[in-house]
Structure 1
Amino acid sequence: MEMAKLFKNSSFCLAFVFALMLGSLGTYAEAKAFFVFGDSLVDNGNNNYLVTTARADAPPYGIDYPSHRPTGRFSNGLNIPDIISEQMGWEPTLPYLSPELNGQKLLVGANFASAGVGVLNDTGIQFVNIIRIYEQLNLFQQYQERVSEMIGAQETKRLVQGALVLITLGGNDFVNNYYLVPYSVRSRQYSIQNYVPFVVSEYKKVLQRLYKLGARRVIVTGTGPLGCVPAELALHSTNGECVPEFQYAASLFNPQLVQMLNQLNREAGGHVFIAANTNQMHMDFISNPQQFGFTTSKEACCGQGRYNGLGLCTPMSNLCPNRDTHVFWDPFHPSERANRMIVQQILTGSNTYMHPMNLSTIMALDSRA
């Protein structure tokens, strides 16, 4: 198959030196480029440059970011890609739409993610102007053309094939599509049992396109526990229990996603796609928040109404005094502290959390390539 040939002919030519001490990664002699695709869980500011309602550019977003100002991240501080870069000792990636992303900064990588997007093009239509996933991939191709002008086509190919890629999609295809309104177009078109394999099959096409564009180490996150976020608790929960219908959707989607990634890896002849079980990572916090140092996994730090789950996080919202005690920052997104725990599992987690290997193992393999 074409994928298998491409994989066998690829080489991971960037060399790395790293140390594992007490379960944490040391610094690298040379960094991989890092590329990020997906939705608001990983968007670090692209939507700031778009006319859209899917924005996080007003306080109190960014209250715990080093500048203490909103950055476009849907977080009180750093998000998952930021923390991965920090833990690896890499310079953080810039949003692809940022005018600052030029020259040598392009060699660090780029973040193409856009809040509101999903696997499907009709997901997030209420946000109007967002960078849908195939447009993100087109921008990735444009990125490679820009870099080729700097360092040549062959060096660009090596940079991309030696890079780490993170992609986070799927949650919005449920909360901002299938379940967005009663009797949505997709819910009339499909039962949930048929909708999930449809979304997974479309996701496969996205990942095949990403592979053709040169990605060779791709961490793919599953959905979180869709029925346990404060937004859904506020709307559908009576006693704070996770909403069964949404949880059922996640329980269907995540195993089918892993099966699809396994199939892609068989076609590629290697471990290209790595499944991150972010559903289980979140459920650990939700099942026993106190064990992880949180006081609540139900109430968002910033919001209003029941569980602070209604509406948007704005300057007029309720705001908790200590973000570290909350699993959720706003009605949908984890706090920085929860993100840090998720990244730790990405780095060093067992097969329960990372399949078939964690990021530390990936780096060890690639350093010897």
Structure 2
Amino acid sequence: MMSGTRVVLMRLLSLVVVVTFVCTKGAEGARAFFVFGDSLVDSGNNDYLPTTARADSPPYGTDYPTHRPTGRFSNGYNLPDLISQHIGSESTLPYLSPQLSGQKLLVGANFASAGIGILNDTGIQFVGILRMFQQFALFEQYQQRLSAEVGAAQAKRLVNGTLVLVTLGGNDFVNNYFLTPVSARSRQFTVPQFCRYLISEYRNILMRLYELGARRVLVTGTGPLGCVPSQLATRSRNGECVPQLQEASQIFNPLLVQMTRQINSQVGSEVFVAVNAFQMNMNFITDPQRFGFVTSKIACCGQGRFNGLGTCTAVSNLCPNRDTYAFWDAYHPSQRALGFIVRGIFSGTSDIMTPMNLSTIMAFDSNIC
């Protein structure tokens, strides 16, 4: 077993490997930011796509500064917005937005698309969404556009130095494996087998992201899928979290941590940081009052049991105070709940952020530059 001093030295050496990349800033000195994934991080790409997975009508965006829908599956800001605020940057625009051009490219871009999963057959019911291979194709296109703006060498430095967020996995369970009583994937795999299969495919995605230049990547695990209002409404008798989905999350997430560690060892640097979204969500789900919520079971916007049936629309039940609800709609945390998750990303201990939290990463990168 290595001594404590040697462990520290090895970690410092692995961080130094990426020092030449992390010193490049985006517009006005702030760190650029790329986002990939599903509806938890989509900032409006689906508004430009022929899909039913949209958040482009009220009351979505009711607490956003404009009080209008933005394509975010939130009452206000979403997870990438809040991270951007913490790193001192403006929010990244959806890549499909016509406003993303010129100097705006230096801020970064959001490629996420609601409804997608790790697997290409996840979310087929939503039709025209951007699956991961398509998000990566757009990322390559972005790099070409950035090169035309600032030159190839500077573009490469900016991409290598950017902070990246990847959020995937939840839809592979709720909108694929567990979507129907007996799905094609559930006939093919047991839950543990499916989790291992997802991790092997997720590994391919992360390695492709590394090939495309990402060197600082936050990788979120799945939240407590059995506790979201949609699952309470359809699968729970008394409002207890659904055991099958909780089990799936608890198998998947440790495998994700293990996989990111293996990749980091392979590439010789701590590129990928695993985010324990399950535990951060469970903190306010199991004890909502401690966080100032009146409920963690009933969605603010929706209908049916727990407001968990269907989508959030203008005719849905709508709570008067979104800050007192842990969930905004049937699937997505409220803006205030996301704030607690972002605090965990920045200052969480090793059981939440592996191998380090974002504050440590930002401080280290800042000191080296």
**Shared fold (TM-score, shorter chain, > 0.5):** yes
Residue type matched to 1:135 in 2? Answer: Q
Deviation at 1:154, TM superposition (A): 1.0
Are 1:98 and 2:104 an aligned pair?
no
| CA distance in 2 between partners of 1:258 and 1:87 (Å) | 24
Residue 258 (structure 2) pairs with residue 259 (structure 1): yes
Q: Deviations over 1:265-296 (max 9, x none)?
A: 00111110001101000000111000011110
Contact 1:15 1:367 in 2 (8 A): no
Q: How far apart, in 1, do the equivalents of 2:292 and 2:171 lie?
A: 29
**Runs of 4 or more consecutive aligned structure 1 residues displaced over 2 Å after TM superposition:** 7-10, 12-16
Aligned pair in 2 of structure 1 residues 9, 320: CA closer, same or farther (>3 Å)? closer
Give the C-alpha shift of residue 366 in structure 1: 1.0
SS in 2 for 1:312: coil
SS in 2 for 1:199: helix
Paired residues, number:
354
Corresponding letter in the other structure for 2:305: R
Task: Report the equivalent of 1:21.
Answer: none
Q: Indicate the residue corresponding to 1:234 in structure 2.
A: 233
Q: Which residue of structure 2 aligns with residue 348 of structure 1?
A: 347
Q: Does 1:271 align with 2:280?
A: no
Q: Cα offset for 1:193?
A: 1.3
Query: Match of 1:56, as an amino acid?
Result: A
8 A contact 2:167–2:221 mirrored in 1: yes
3-state SS of paired residue (1:195)? helix
* 1:13-45 CA distance string (max 9 Å, x none): 5268xxxxxxxxxxx982111000000000000
Unaligned runs of 5+ in 2: 1-12
Q: Is 1:130 the equivalent of 2:139?
A: no
Q: Following superposition of structure 1 onto structure 2, how do residues 103-118 of structure 1 map, counting pairs within 5 Å?
A: 103-118=102-117
Gaps of 5+ in 1: 17-27
8 Å CA contact 1:41–1:333 kept in 2: the answer is: yes
What letter matches 2:139 in structure 1?
Answer: F
SS of equivalent to 1:12: helix
State the 1:331 CA deviation. 0.3
Residue 246 of structure 2 aligns with an amino acid whose one-letter code is Q
Alignment match, 2:215: 216
CA distance in 1, matches of 2:141, 2:311: 34
After TM superposition, give the deviation of residue 368 of structure 1 in Å.
Answer: 2.7
- 1:136 maps to a residue whose letter is Q
Corresponding residue number in structure 2 for 1:296: 295
- 1:186 aligns to 2:195 (yes or no): no
Two-structure CA RMSD over aligned residues (Å) = 1.6
Give the SS at the match of 1:368.
helix
In structure 2, C-alpha distance between the alignment counterparts of 1:238 and 1:45, rounded to whole Å = 35
In percent, how many aligned pairs have the same letter?
A: 64
Write the letter of the residue equivalent to 1:210.
Answer: L
Question: Structure 1 residues 162 and 57, CA, compared in 2 at 3 Å: closer, same or farther?
Answer: same
The residue type paired with residue 231 of structure 2 is: E
Indicate yes or no: 2:347 matched with 1:334.
Answer: no
CA contact (8 A) 1:301 1:308 kept: yes
SS of the residue corresponding to residue 218 of structure 1 reads strand
Q: CA deviation at 1:12?
A: 2.3
Point out the more displaced range, 32-41 or 348-357: 348-357
SS of alignment partner, residue 37 of structure 1? strand
What residue in structure 2 maps to residue 306 of structure 1? 305
